[in-house]
Chains A and B, each alone.
Chain A
């Protein structure tokens, strides 16, 4: 099962920063510059034909750590690939810092990346280079900030029309 990770390490060497394998559940943290190449390798060489999911994590309150949190990067991107022909899954992670929240888009390889990357942009403010239509998908254009970032106040609402009562305002 860890075969996938071995092949990734063999092909990308030090660009694979961390690997993890638990009960056939393979994970690799890769350098973000190599993300597109890693995805291409997985699709074309290891027959991971399907991009199941793309999402992100805000690591704001996690202590920087030499092994777990190497570069002090704030955002972690998570993608799941599935091989229909081999019935295998692999999870690829990449990180980007707060002052430069950008990642390469997988749209050129998987068309399904379109909406998932827009959702990550909508919720975390991570922009994807090479994406054809990088704008909000669920929230309205008037919305300021990115609600799933850990420093977004959990009860901050941004109404589109004036509210009739004072209910729903943030508790100070």
Chain B
């Protein structure tokens, strides 16, 4: 058989009447929650609230080398109205706390928060007059990413954990 004949042999054949071919005429059943969760977890639009050095690591993670696009979380939206994942990247100080709270409140439901790095999670090594001791003092957080800064693999792992959380949650719509 030459190449042409080989290709023709592997091509899908027209279905014969009265006979169901694999992949044809079948239905997949699921719960609505699961279907919506599946759609939501693969279309995360993130709002990067970047304040400090973790931002460099965030850029490395979202750029082509590690590539958050592989998990459907590619496009940063620089408007909270268009975002559903708030990524808080870096140290948050008390002067900024009202701003972060407002950004969170401006996001439409459903929304999730990822705390990126030690400072956002717990204040990191700052214990002073200015640093907020973890952003969960201001807004609810879904995933915490440890590290100073976190390795890209840690961030991607957190993203997968968030996707799992989204998939499992009851969906409001």
Q: Which A residues have a C-beta under 8 Å from some C-beta of B?
A: 138-140, 147, 152, 154-161, 163-165, 167-168
Contacts and interface: CB of A to CB of B under 8 A. Distances in A.
Contacts of B30: none
B134 interface: yes
Contact of B129 (A158, A161, A163, A165): A158
B137 interface: yes
A158 B128 CA distance: 10
Given A164-B137, A167-B137, A168-B137, A159 B129 contact: no
16 contacts: A147-B128, A152-B129, A154-B128, A155-B127, A155-B128, A156-B129, A157-B130, A159-B94, A159-B132, A160-B94, A160-B97, A161-B98, A165-B136, A167-B122, A167-B137, A168-B123
A11 B98 CA distance: 53
Given A154-B127, A154-B128, A155-B127, A160 B138 contact: no
Contacts of B123: 168
Interface string B113-133: 000000000110001111011
Given A158-B94, A160-B95, A161-B98, A168 B129 contact: no
Binding site of A, secondary structure by majority: helix, strand, loop or mixed? loop
B162 to A, nearest CB: 20
B101 interface: yes
A168 B101 contact: no
Interface of B: 94-95, 97-98, 101, 122-123, 127-130, 132-134, 136-140
Shortest 3 CB-CB contacts between residues of A and residues of B:
A168-B133, A147-B129, A163-B137
B128 A163 contact: no
Nearest to B96: A160
A54 B122 CA distance: 33
A170 B105 CA distance: 28
Contact of B132 (A139, A154, A155, A168): A168
B93 to A, nearest CB: 9
Contact of A159 (B97, B127, B139): B97
A140 B130 CA distance: 10
B94 A157 contact: yes
B95 A139 contact: yes
Contacts of B137: 159, 163-165, 167-168
